């Protein structure tokens, strides 16, 4: 039976305002993803009896520096206590992280690590970079922290092309996107888990941790991630999941925004206009996700990414 890990990147609404160059996000939406979307996700995962991996942005749960983060921190603390995995999605979700100087990269990863380890009550084992970009410096920090896996690479040329198109369109309007173009060498990365090289993360090597790339289908490399599948036609959705069931490992990435209801959560129309997935009400997304999780359950053993990293290495 294949393994499947469900992970959810908890990018705040403000991240989407940055990508679409919409200016500062309304303050009222600061904690919508963790306070409102995570509980919907939790109810769905509980129905399917799965423990998932949450990629948390450190500053969103950093109660020592932000009193408004208390409710979010409590939500994530409860997830860890319930057997879910909390993993590191950097401290401030800077899309240009992999291109920053070594000290800033280290600060971004180590600060989030400390905040999350305190909430989880145990060491953090995994990292996912904002914007799917990694570098040798970033890998050095993960090795220093003794991480067991990185799960940042997303070798999907179609995603890369779509992102380039959005960025070019915004640049033409003189409203540069806050997103940063991913290093194209990441597109050449293996699509199945591998031990990466420390100096060239997209190649095989001898890093002390494993790379768990975000899943794409073989050959066509169609993205097998929640945000794409939610808006895909049902037959394509089922085909992609069937294809992934035949792989040894399916790294199924979702985002907190996939569990958003634009109306109930009072998301401004300016953002809804730019995120097609926000035009679906939660009830409809819940039905689609429910069907996807049912299909996955029939073919795969569902484990956290940390557990998958351990199991896969034992098979090598």
Q: Which residues bind Zn ion (CB under 5 A)?
A: 9, 11, 130
Query: Which lies closer to Zn ion via its Cβ, residue 91 or residue 247?
Result: 91
Contact 129, 151 (CB under 8 A): no
Kindly give the interhelix angle for 38-47 and 282-297, rounded to the nearest 10 degrees: 40
> Closest distance between Zn ion and the C-beta of residue 130, in Å?
5
> Closest distance between Zn ion and the C-beta of residue 255, in Å?
7
Query: Which lies closer to Zn ion via its Cβ, residue 9 or residue 247?
Result: 9
- The residue whose Cβ lies closest to Zn ion is 11
Query: Which lies closer to Zn ion via its Cβ, residue 60 or residue 261?
Result: 60
CB atoms within 10 A of CB 314: 6
> Closest distance between Zn ion and the C-beta of residue 245, in Å?
26
Query: Which lies closer to Zn ion via its Cβ, residue 130 or residue 213?
Result: 130
Beta bridge mates, 252:
6
> Closest distance between Zn ion and the C-beta of residue 204, in Å?
26
Tokens of 270: 């300016």
> Closest distance between Zn ion and the C-beta of residue 306, in Å?
19
Query: Which lies closer to Zn ion via its Cβ, residue 9 or residue 113?
Result: 9
The 3-state secondary structure of 205-261 reads CCCCCEECCCCECCCCCCECCHHHHHHCCHHHHHHHHHHHHCCCEEEEEEEHHHHCC
> Closest distance between Zn ion and the C-beta of residue 132, in Å?
9
Nearest 5°: CA angle at 311, between 306 and 313?
A: 100
Which residues, other chains included, contact 287 with Cβ-Cβ below 8 Å and sequence gap of 6+?
Answer: none
Tokens of 224: 């097998």
Query: Which lies closer to Zn ion via its Cβ, residue 76 or residue 312?
Result: 76
């Amino acid at each position: 039976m294949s393994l499947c890990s469900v992970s959810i990147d908890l990018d705040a609404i403000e991240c989407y305002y940055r990508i679409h160059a919409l200016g500062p996000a309304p303050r009222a939406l600061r904690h919508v993803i963790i306070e409102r979307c995570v509980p919907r996700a939790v109810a769905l995962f509980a129905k399917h009896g799965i423990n998932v991996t949450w990629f948390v942005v450190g500053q969103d749960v950093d109660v020592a520096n932000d009193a408004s983060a208390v409710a979010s921190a409590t939500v994530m603390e409860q997830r860890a206590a319930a057997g879910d995995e909390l993993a590191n999605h950097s401290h401030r979700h800077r899309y240009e992280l992999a291109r920053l100087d070594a000290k800033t990269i280290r600060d971004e990863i180590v600060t989030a690590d400390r905040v999350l380890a305190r909430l989880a009550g145990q060491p953090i084992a995994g990292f996912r970079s904002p914007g799917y970009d990694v570098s040798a410096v970033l890998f050095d920090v993960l090795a220093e922290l003794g991480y067991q896996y990185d799960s940042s690479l997303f070798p999907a040329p179609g995603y890369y092309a779509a992102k380039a198109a959005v960025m070019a369109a915004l640049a033409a309007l003189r409203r540069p996107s806050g997103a940063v173009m991913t290093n194209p060498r990441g597109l050449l990365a293996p699509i199945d888990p591998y031990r990466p090289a420390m100096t060239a993360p997209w190649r095989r090597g001898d890093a002390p941790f494993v790379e768990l790339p975000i899943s794409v289908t073989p050959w066509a490399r169609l993205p097998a991630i929640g945000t794409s599948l939610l808006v895909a036609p049902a037959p394509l959705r089922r085909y992609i999941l069937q294809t992934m069931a035949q792989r040894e490992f399916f790294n199924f990435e979702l985002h907190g925004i996939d569990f958003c209801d634009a109306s109930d959560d009072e998301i401004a129309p300016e953002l809804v206009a730019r995120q097609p997935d926000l035009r679906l009400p939660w009830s409809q997304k819940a039905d689609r996700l429910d069907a996807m999780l049912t299909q996955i359950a029939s073919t795969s053993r569902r484990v956290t990414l940390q557990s998958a990293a351990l199991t896969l290495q034992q098979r090598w």
